[in-house]
Structure 1
């Protein structure tokens, strides 16, 4: 996943207890390992969309689904075309904010999602807009009385609840969608800003500066405007130009220098922004120039279905993104971002679940509802494949019962607990809790909800449309002292590997817990596939009005 999924999932997504003997026999660990090794091998070149790595990944996935005998949803193949547009900012950039001349990637990283060969901004006023939030339901508007036309917004990461976790502001400790960087660029665009730059801080962002650089360096993909290439230049520019002209991140140290030069200590502004709305001009301007390369292309979701019987039009979905960052030709030596944990492990897990359903049907007969498996593209670039699917579903969303998302599996061994990211949102979680209890595990929320894990992977695209979707797995409490000791050693070996070249498959990974996590998902989906339940979202959650729990209850 891209900046969207916190380091939490690489360092904390630990899995299940081996207490349930039956669950340990459901899945073939050697097959799971082999699939992870293949998908994360150097041969697959980091699985970036629109590369040789994508072609190899699509071949592997379609062959795997074909060998299982799963149905092709469109009757021809397993592929859903996802029209994309790629923007590549040049390495050489001229960037000055006030009196500061900044170095690309070291101090700041900028991109533009406009179809222009040259990005040139001269003397654009800089405006601090606090958290860059306009939330009427919280009576909060950082853009109040501002005209942002021709101006560049400087924005804090996360939301006010991060600094005041004891409060009810924006969900308190847990990040709201208003805290996501994607929202901040969207809102700055709605406000008519020329540009938007987020001030990076490791703790409220949930990842270090290196993750920003690795994720934002190189071509940045998005869905084509109106989901298709525009027919002419005029239409194309009209479709794209509603977005800010430049967007990116600046390090906290350089931001402090910038604000000090303006006579506005950033620490004081942080305190003010956390307590109330704030916006003010810095009385300085920005000049930015760089070349921009734009290319149109098509990537693919891979979709396969196991048809049900009497409720065949109702679908239970599994999602896992097949893509990662690819290669960095600027690096010497190893330059492949193999993405073994993120997300070869989740994709391999989805294949394992599909095989288990095939096995069960052969032994026990067909399911009532259909099961559909979606390996999505472009998750690292902003949930592109899942966003496109919910806009163009092959099966109606109102006939989609639930979504189980797999993104980064446990590699550290069994635990006594089980993490549900964003716990407390929907009735679907009850199926996970029930089956975790069978393994003598207790379900908990993630340790760091302030980094917004719920908004960072493909399940969120479905949640935004009201489809109950879960993202779960792992735990914090190793099952015994030996597992704890090994976990600590492996964490040292994997430290800093999120979105880095060291996210590679290793033979010493302890996948016992991953097998049990797969079992929880499998058993929960199996129950849903054979009943008439339609889980909904609890009252008080963002998605309650789209598909409410019945009766209207809170968790």
Structure 2
């Protein structure tokens, strides 16, 4: 990412932000803590059951948002509807049997599996009388180690000890692209993984977008303990440790006699979900569109503890509430004759918690051309104080503005100027660091706009102890802070909707 030109920022501020706009201030004042609490107390109530995508609570939330859009007089832009159907498929799978040389092994005790997709409802049987061992030198060239070895339709054995997760992922993806029958991967840490709490969700149903065409069938990956792998190597007369040593020395690929059999049962069912769209047409620049987005879904119910509902008040009831408040301010401005020059789309996304599914579907099937979409201002968690600010003097006066300069230095400067002029929040850019391990830039709905070249800002308060927990309750929301952060988004949007030119994409 290029460094933001601070001189340009100062010039922009002095040129266009030297005086407050009384009209913008008038309508920003409609964004209040009291009104936000009214909306959020409904959206994050127990009655909505955590708003999990594909479940009744998410449908209730979508209906509530659409009803509010209608009250505000926003247009229904999807052929007269506020709903854009998002076709989803929910796939569950279970390993019914797995054996090596006549010894049966137990799922989630001796091995676990990677994601596996067939797109069918059936039992899928896998068997082999030999397995191809792919020798591997740690840090080596993934494509070179496969070389001319033909693995099509064959079983493959990998040893992953000592390699980075990224290289392991690339290695498996490369081998899967060669259409083997199945892959067995082993590493010392598999035993620890099998004892991890993550195993509880190892075979829960997984949700994804229904593909426009049949999805490619990927070979399943069985991650086995070294003890299971040793059973594979009996006919070779070696152990994993012995073979691992030769692998590190770039041992040539070889075929190993072994009798392997497995059965995976898969079930795929459609799931109902919708994005919620409210549209406010502009005036002289109405063909250009500014998007305010937030995801209204959360993670649903839990089976443990006394509190069964993951209410998602902050994640992302707070963002959804902010969208409703900002929409009310712009709708009132238009009613009073101060409508925006550009059109505005208020977008409630579904399926963010399932992998940014709703925003992916919208950006792949946009109601308004992405070429005409000038910016996405995405709001995901703005009602709380995150770990980094707890106990700090500015704990109730900050927001992370992620990605504001990733594509457009001009957009970054517009947001900075609006903040200096109106809200005076601490704008934190910590998570713009490309080496930050959290990778938040890639983890909310704005990213699906950014990957299409649309400039974005992601407004975020950081994670806290109640993140993805039943404790993310309305009672813990700082509504004054939520409203102030939402006002910053409004002011930035006001400038974007009314300025002569759209922000230039100038960062590569």
TM-score between both structures, scaled by the size of structure 1: 0.67
Query: How has the CA–CA distance of structure 1 residues 313 and 338 changed in structure 2, closer, same or farther, with 3 Å as cutoff?
Result: same
Map of 1:375 onto structure 2:
348
Q: Identify if the C-alpha distance between structure 1 residues 126 and 355 changes in structure 2 by more than 3 Å, giving closer, same or farther.
A: farther
Classify the secondary structure of the residue corresponding to 1:450. Answer: coil
1:304 equivalent in structure 2 = 278
What secondary structure, in the 3-state scheme, does the structure 2 residue paired with 1:472 have? strand
Mapped contact 1:87–1:295 kept (Cα < 8 A): yes
Separation (CA, whole Å) in 2 of partners of 1:151 and 1:192: 10
Asked if residue 35 in structure 1 is aligned to residue 58 in structure 2, the reply is: no
Tell me the distance in 1 between the aligned counterparts of 2:66 and 2:461: 29
Instruction: Indicate conservation of the 8 Å contact 2:187/2:226, yes or no.
Output: no
For 1:397, the equivalent position in structure 2 comes to: 370
The alpha-carbon distance between structure 1 residues 144 and 58, as it changes in their structure 2 partners (threshold 3 A), is same
Alignment pair present for 1:120 and 2:125: yes
Partner of 2:412: 429
- Asked if 2 retains the 8 angstrom alpha-carbon contact of 1:433 and 1:443, the reply is no
Equivalent in the alignment of 1:82: 86
Structure 1 Cα separation of the partners of residues 246 and 295 of structure 2: 41
For the residues of structure 1 that align with 2:487 and 2:188, how far apart are their CA atoms? Answer: 37
CA distance in 1, matches of 2:246, 2:404: 34
Q: 1:147 to 1:407 in 2, by over 3 A?
A: farther
1:134-533 matches, cutoff 5 A:
141=143, 145=147, 147-149=150-152, 150-151=154-155, 189-194=176-181, 210=197, 213-214=200-201, 217-226=203-212, 239-240=214-215, 242-246=216-220, 262-263=240-241, 288-327=262-301, 334-363=307-336, 365-412=338-385, 414-415=395-396, 417-422=398-403, 424-427=405-408, 428-438=411-421, 439=424, 441-446=426-431, 449-474=436-461, 491-492=464-465, 494=466, 497-498=467-468, 500=469, 502-533=470-501
Residue 44 of structure 1: CA displacement?
Answer: 1.6
Q: In structure 2, do the counterparts of structure 1 residues 440 and 508 end up closer, same or farther at CA, with 3 Å as the change threshold?
A: closer
CA contact (8 A) 2:59 2:273 kept: no
Q: 1:185 and 1:29 mapped to 2: Cα distance?
A: 50
CA distance, structure 1, for counterparts of residue 188 and residue 279 of structure 2: 43
What displacement does 1:33 show? 2.7
Q: Report the alpha carbon displacement of residue 511 of structure 1 after superposing the two structures with TM.
A: 3.6
TM-score between the two structures when normalised by the length of structure 2: 0.72
Q: 1:309 to 1:103 in 2, by over 3 A?
A: same
Q: Is the 8 A contact 2:381 2:461 kept in 1?
A: no
Structure 2: distance between partners of 1:278 and 1:513: 60
- Alpha-carbon distance in 1 for matches of 2:138, 2:217: 15
Larger Rg: 2
Structure with the larger RCO, 1 or 2 (CA within 8 Å, 6+ apart): 1
Query: Post-superposition shift, 1:337?
Result: 3.5
Q: Distance in 1 between matches of 2:268 and 2:253?
A: 34
Quote the residue 1:549 is aligned against. none
Residues 131 and 155, structure 1, Cα contact 8 Å, conserved in 2: no
Deviation, structure 1 residue 371:
0.7
Alpha carbons of structure 1 residues 373 and 423: separation in structure 2 relative to 1, 3 Å: closer
> CA 1:403 to 1:44, structure 2 compared with 1: closer, same or farther past 3 Å?
same
Structure 1 residue runs without a partner (length 5+): 1-21, 163-177, 203-207, 228-238, 477-490, 542-555
Which residues of structure 2 form unaligned runs of 5+?
1-24, 190-194, 231-238, 387-394
How far residue 132 of structure 1 moved from its aligned partner, in angstroms, is 13
